[in-house]
C-alpha cells in the first residue's frame, strides 16, 4: 500500500502533484467567479438605486417601479435591500405622484425584514 522504494514514491508524487494543482486552480476559479458575481450584483444594485432616486427626473415613474420590482426580486443582500427600500420609501413619502413606487417599496420592506 505504501511506497516501498524511491521509484514508487516518485510515481506517487508525480500522480498527486497534478491532482493538487488541478484542485487548487479549481478552487481559485470558483472563488474568482463568486467574487465576479458579487461585484456584478453590487453594480446592478447601484444602477437600481440610481434609477430609484431619480435626482434630475431623467427617468420616468415606470422605470422607478420596474427598478423597485427588480430590487424586490433580489435574494441576496436582504439587509441592504431592506435599508435601500426603507430609505427610498421615506424619501418618496411626501410626493403624491410617486405613490405606486412607494407601494412597491413598502412591499419590499415588508418582505425583506432582516
Grid coordinates belonging to 14:
508525480
Q: For residue 37, what are the CA distances in angstroms to 63, 73, 107, 112?
A: 24, 16, 26, 21
For the purposes of burial, counting CB atoms within 10 Å of the CB of 101, is it exposed (0-12), middle (13-18) or buried (19 or more)? buried
Q: What is the pTM of this model?
A: 0.71
Is 1 domain-assigned?
no
Is 79 domain-assigned?
yes
pLDDT number for residue 16: 93
Is 52 domain-assigned?
yes
pLDDT number for residue 114: 59
More confident residue, 36 or 12: 36
Looking at every residue in the chain, the average pLDDT score rounds to: 85
pLDDT number for residue 83: 87
SS3 43: helix
User: Does residue 97 register a pLDDT over 80?
Assistant: no
Task: Count the Cβ atoms, other than its own, within 10 Å of residue 92.
Answer: 20
Containing structural domain, residue 92 = 6-111
Task: Note the pLDDT tens digit of each residue in 48-92.
Answer: 888 888 766 677 888 888 898 998 888 777 888 888 888 888 887
Amino acid at each position: 500500500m505504501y511506497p516501498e522504494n524511491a521509484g514508487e514514491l516518485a510515481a506517487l508524487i508525480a500522480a498527486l502533484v497534478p491532482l493538487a494543482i488541478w484542485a487548487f486552480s479549481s478552487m481559485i476559479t470558483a472563488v474568482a467567479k463568486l467574487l465576479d458575481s458579487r461585484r456584478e450584483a453590487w453594480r446592478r444594485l447601484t444602477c437600481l438605486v440610481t434609477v430609484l432616486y431619480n435626482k434630475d427626473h431623467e427617468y420616468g415613474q415606470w422605470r422607478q417601479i420596474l427598478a423597485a420590482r427588480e430590487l424586490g426580486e433580489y435574494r441576496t443582500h436582504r439587509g441592504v435591500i431592506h435599508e435601500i427600500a426603507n430609505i427610498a420609501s421615506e424619501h418618496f413619502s411626501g410626493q403624491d405622484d410617486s405613490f405606486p413606487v412607494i407601494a412597491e417599496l413598502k412591499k419590499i420592506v415588508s418582505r425583506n425584514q432582516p
